[in-house]
Chain A
Amino acid sequence: MKKYKWLVPTLYIIFLMLPIYWLINMSFKTTTEIINTYSLWPQKFTTENYVKIFTDSTWYMGYINSITYTVFNTVISVAAALPAAYAFSRYKFLGDKHLFFWLLTNRMAPPAVFALPFFQFYSSVNLFDTHIAVALSHCLFNIPLAVWILEGFMSAVPKELDETAYVDGYSFGRFFFKIFVPTIAAGIGITMFFCFMFSWVELLLAKTLTATAAKPIAATMTRTASTSGYELGLLAAAGTLTIIPGAIVIYFVKNYIAKGFAMGRV
């Protein structure tokens, strides 16, 4: 039985890779070939779908928009969550437990509930169709998540570290940035990974809050599908390209992923 243990993860990975392979397969075919023939690999290999995406600004701007608001959101979430997580991990204060649960409830709020009020709210403050609007709206679920993960990492650091630093004459600011932040660097990395991930994959809010100037790639895809017929090859190529940023991010944090989950705080 032990001998065949590797079969389970291997079969699972094959199952995971099949739809991805199919998408990549489609992306190298012409639309006519996709519709008319069924084949396991492209019969007439073509890169024209990719050429179209990289030369047409409505397509490649979608990627730039998505990456822009995702990065904004990651920076805002982590910057705001750092001091808050420190407070939750080190101090008791009035209403701390309730505040913590209230933050978590926002991670539980279905985005569909918020879509319409967000649209009206961001329109009324003239932020509609800007990157910052999407970045701010994603804070709804990313800030609670960031606070939660960071608090886990910070609680694992003994309080003696803080006290020794103060005895050595460090001011709070110097201690925090020179000693504390480097100590939990791995935790900050994991937090950024999750913020990036959830902001990158979310579509409902991003689509509701944008029209043209900040339109995410995912929305470009759905709108193209409905307006210019069903260009499957192009859609497949665009979909394949959305996998790449995620893959790059995973590669950089691979050693931390298991550890980050191990904190039990995701």
Chain B
Amino acid sequence: MNKTINQKAWYFVIPVFVLVAFNAAIPLMTVVNYSFQETFGNNVFAWEGTRWFKQILLSERFHASLGRQFAFTFIILLIQIPLGIAIALTMPKKGWGVPVCLILMSMPLLIPWNVVGAMWNIFALPDIGFLGHSLNAMGFDYNFTQQPGDAWFTTILMDVWHWTSLVVLLSYAGLNSIQPAYYQAAEIDGASRWATFRYIELPKMKKVLTLAILLRFMDSFMIYTEPFVLTGGGPGNTTAFLSIDLVKMALGQFDLGPAAAMSLIYFFIVLLVCWVFYNLMMKNEAQS
């Protein structure tokens, strides 16, 4: 659409601008403030320069939680994106199955995050949970509160349970926007199922898939509540992702300076990755 140049449009944006600035700029400035200073309580501050940034960037604790975070995000993307596409491809396209699938699949998305954690905790407990009990009955030595591998397995399974539906819904919407003529043309050409997917469905889903990856990256990178309730970051620190580690540092140990520096580095990483994705997305939109 060709848009008219109109500077008065700013008046329309003011409410949004004020509300978001009120919520984002002021707290962010507080964080920046802390990140350069040492506090002794009672509003006494001393200038520390970049000391906290150096300390965080060189600390092994930060490297470890950052590594865990990247590993987690990478694994869940690797599972959720293909799985989501596969489910969207096999979902019914019309009839009573559509609303049933949509309603049931959306359910996990609307459950408060700590309830998701609590639910999976109960579900996976080795003695009284269905998952834990079944796995142990099958001969696996499963206990997610004590064995790091099991804790990871449970956390990833929980995230797959919680968020794959978002990828399904997005892919499904992308598939629905394909005109039947494309499929007819493919049939006339005698295209195989794989070729239809590779050359018709996948390119048409490119936009929604970029969005799905972007959203899943952002949200899994910020994950806090669900693993906190499920494992509390344990056993040890094995499932302490960035947010969990950060909250522990800020509210648990009250190390405000290092916590603020870590916040900024953390935010910067998310911003950087999202900026790359956002530009890719806008480029796609400009092409189509």
Contacts and interface: CB of A to CB of B under 8 A. Distances in A.
Contacts of A23: 119, 122-123
B206 to A, nearest CB: 10
A-side binding surface: helix, strand, loop or mixed?
A: helix
A164 to B, nearest CB: 16
Interface in A230-266: 232, 235-236, 239, 242-243, 245-247, 249-251, 254-255, 257-262, 264, 266
A262 B177 contact: yes
Nearest to A259: B173
Given A26-B122, A202-B113, A251-B103, A116 B26 contact: no
A166 interface: no
Given A6-B90, A76-B19, A117-B26, A94 B10 contact: yes
Contacts of A87: 9-10, 12-13
Interface in A22-75: 22-23, 26, 34-35, 38, 40
Contacts of B263: 110, 112-113
Contacts of B173: 258-262, 264
A49 B218 CA distance: 37
Contacts of B91: 9
A107 B222 CA distance: 11
B181 interface: no
A164 B256 CA distance: 58
B51 interface: no
A265 to B, nearest CB: 8
- Size bracket, chain A contacts: 35 or more
Contacts of B246: 110, 112-113
A191 interface: no
A257 B152 CA distance: 32
A126 B186 CA distance: 64
A186 interface: no
B111 A246 contact: yes
A222 interface: yes
Contacts of A117: 26-28, 30-31
A250 B100 CA distance: 11
Interface string B242-269: 1100110011000010010001101100
A-B pairs, 4 with minimum CB distance: A246-B110, A117-B27, A262-B173, A87-B12
Interface of A: 5-9, 12-13, 15-20, 22-23, 26, 34-35, 38, 40, 76, 79-81, 83-84, 86-94, 96, 99, 101, 103-118, 120-121, 136-137, 139-140, 143-144, 147, 155, 158-159, 197, 200-204, 217-218, 221-222, 225, 232, 235-236, 239, 242-243, 245-247, 249-251, 254-255, 257-262, 264, 266
Interface of B: 1, 3-10, 12-13, 15-17, 19-20, 22-24, 26-28, 30-31, 86-87, 90-92, 97, 99, 101-115, 118-120, 122-123, 127-131, 133, 161, 164-166, 168-170, 172-174, 176-177, 207-208, 211, 215, 218, 221-222, 224-225, 229, 242-243, 246-247, 250-251, 256, 259, 263-264, 266-267, 270-271, 274-275, 278
